[in-house]
Homo-oligomer: A and B are copies of this chain.
Amino acid sequence: MSERLPFSCDYLQGCHPAILNRLQETNLEACDGYGSDSYTQKAKELILKACELPDGEVQLLSGGTQANLIVIAAALQRYQAVISADTGHINYHEAGSVEGSGHKILALPHRYGKITAQQVGDYMKVFTADANNEHMAQPALVYISQPTEYGTLYSAEELRQLHEVCQQYGLLLYADGARLAYSLAAAENDATLPILAKYCDIFYIGGTKCGALLGEAVVFSRKNLLPHFFTTCKQMGGIMAKGKLLGIQFATLFEDDLYLKVGKEAVSYADEIRLFLKTNGWQLLFDCPTNQIFVIMDDEKLEKFGKKVSYSFWEKTDDSHTVIRLATSWATTRQNVDDLLQVIEEL
């Protein structure tokens, strides 16, 4: 793959140099295990401060599927279910992990990756009215992604409405923030970390795709929301002995607001690429505001393109056209972008 331009995903490279430097500096320091070290402590404090959550709580985990799996399993009683967009990452690309932990996913039709408060409310109205609803798994948590799997964003107002309908029906609101840095860096975004923390009961701040080697920070809007969550994490294989590896990374990402900056360039490069594509007559699937670009290519050009650029297949639109996804990341360089635009120009 090394010869092709790296636009297939946002987890291709290692980590932000500042993180690797901190790992070097602290490598031989002896630290307590399992997240009781001072770096993890500091990371948690910085994250809660950035989220304006003085009474919140944080648990660092190692990956996104793991975070979704453990949070949902810990949040639900065994008779409860999750509401999600049908395109939710948990619904297809996590190998049935939510179901593997015993819970049904109730999939609502998405619109570019999003579901609305209206949809949730309508679903709950029908469910509540159903005389046989004790024969059905009880909806208890709404799963959303910010940004979504399509790179789209929930606005602050949309989150407020989702929060409201969740409160009305006793549902938890949980946001998967695997690519959160790229939402925070988007021009149109008004769902800041404090806004997310205000409207979501639980969300996670993605590290793996946003500058860390690995790691996701699960944020709880209030203390002890899920009792013995550490034990549940341990039971499900989510606790690292060397917790400082996660602590150092998140402490670095939240010092001097690095996390708010780390996605800026990526989104700005993505904007540039989208503009270039549109200007040059390419059709975008829709106008994504974050680091992902969905463009329709005819298959002949795609074949040539694929020899020079690594991309992701998204879906076929017809027999001779394909939607592909390109992704920029914190590691994308000026040179990468220039090379990409040139490849496209020459197709």
> A62 contacts which chain B residues (CB < 8 A)?
62-63, 214, 240
CB of A81 closer than 8 Å to a CB of B: yes
**Residue A260 at the B interface, CB < 8 A?**
no
* Chain B residues within an 8 Å CB radius of A313: 131
Partner among B27, B69, B101, B230 whose Cβ is within 8 Å of the Cβ of A15: B27
Within 8 A of B (CB), among A199-248: 208-209, 213-214, 227-228, 230-232, 234-242, 244-245
Question: How extensive is the interface on chain A, given as a class?
Answer: 35 or more
Known A-B contacts: A14-B27, A66-B238, A96-B235. Give 19 more (CB < 8 A).
Answer: A1-B30, A1-B31, A11-B241, A12-B32, A14-B26, A70-B237, A78-B78, A95-B232, A95-B234, A96-B137, A99-B102, A99-B104, A100-B235, A100-B236, A137-B231, A138-B228, A138-B231, A208-B242, A214-B241
B79 touches A242 (CB 8 A): no
- Contact between chains at A95 and B74 (CB < 8 Å): no
Contact B97–A235 (Cβ < 8 Å)? yes
Q: Given A97-B234, A208-B242, A236-B97, check contact A2 B30 (CB 8 Å).
A: yes
Instruction: Report if A343 contacts B (CB, 8 A).
Output: no
- For residue A168, CB closer than 8 A to chain B, the reply is no
Are B70 and A78 interface neighbours, CB within 8 A? no
Q: How far is the CA of A24 from the CA of B18 in the complex (A)?
A: 11
Contact call A239/B24, Cβ cutoff below 8 A = no
